[in-house]
Amino acid sequence: MVCLDLEWVLIPEIWEELGNATKIEEFMLTTRDISDYDELMNIRINKLKENNITLSDIQKIVDKTNPLEWAMSFMKWLRSIAQVTILTWSYYEYIMPILSKLDYPCTFANSLKIEDDMIVGYNLREKDWKIEMINRFHDAWYKTIAIGDSFNDVAMLEWATNWILFKPALKLAEQKKWIFPIANNHIELRSILEKLI
C-alpha cells in the first residue's frame, strides 16, 4: 500500500494558490513553514474571516488548479504495480474537483466546519489519524510505503514499512536526511519506488 500526501506531491499547495490569487502573504504559509497544524489553520481561518473569503471562493480557485504536470502518468504507473491511497491534511469540501483530474484515487482527508459559506473551523478524522491509517493497513497485512513532503508527514513516514521524503522543505531535509531517502523530482521518486516494490 503506497500512501501519498496530496499537496506538493501530486498537486500544488491549495493555500498557496489562494495566496497567489489574493496576494495575502499568510496564505503562503504551509506545514513546511509551521509544524503546529492547529496554529497554521487558525492563522488561515482568521485571514479568511478578515478578508471575507468564502468556501465558494476557494472552490473556484481549486476548479482552475491542475495536478502537477507529471502526476497523471505517475499515478497511472503506480496504480499498475501497487495499491495506492492518498492521506492528506486537506479538506473534502475543496479538493474534490482536483481529485477528479487524478481519476478519483482512494483519498482520506479531513472536513471543514462551514457557516453561511464561511470556514469557521475544521475536524480532523481523528488524533494522529495518518499513523492510525498506516497501522490499519499493517493490521490488514499490507506492507506500506509512505511519501510526504512536510513536518506533518513525519509521523506517517516513521510508522510506515518504508518511507520517502519528496521535495521536502530544506529544514526538514537537513533534519531527516540520514533517516529518510529523499526524492527531488518524480523521476527519482519512481526509481526509489521501483526498488522498494
Which residues are part of the catalytic machinery? Answer: 5, 7
Burial of 30 (0-12, 13-18, 19+ CB in 10 A): buried
Q: What would the grid cell of residue 120 be?
A: 469557521
Gap between the Cα atoms of 14 and 138, Å rounded: 30
User: How many angstroms separate the CA atoms of 189 and 167, rounded?
Assistant: 10
Distance CA 74, CA 80 (A): 10
Distance in angstroms between the alpha carbons of the first and the last residue of the chain: 10
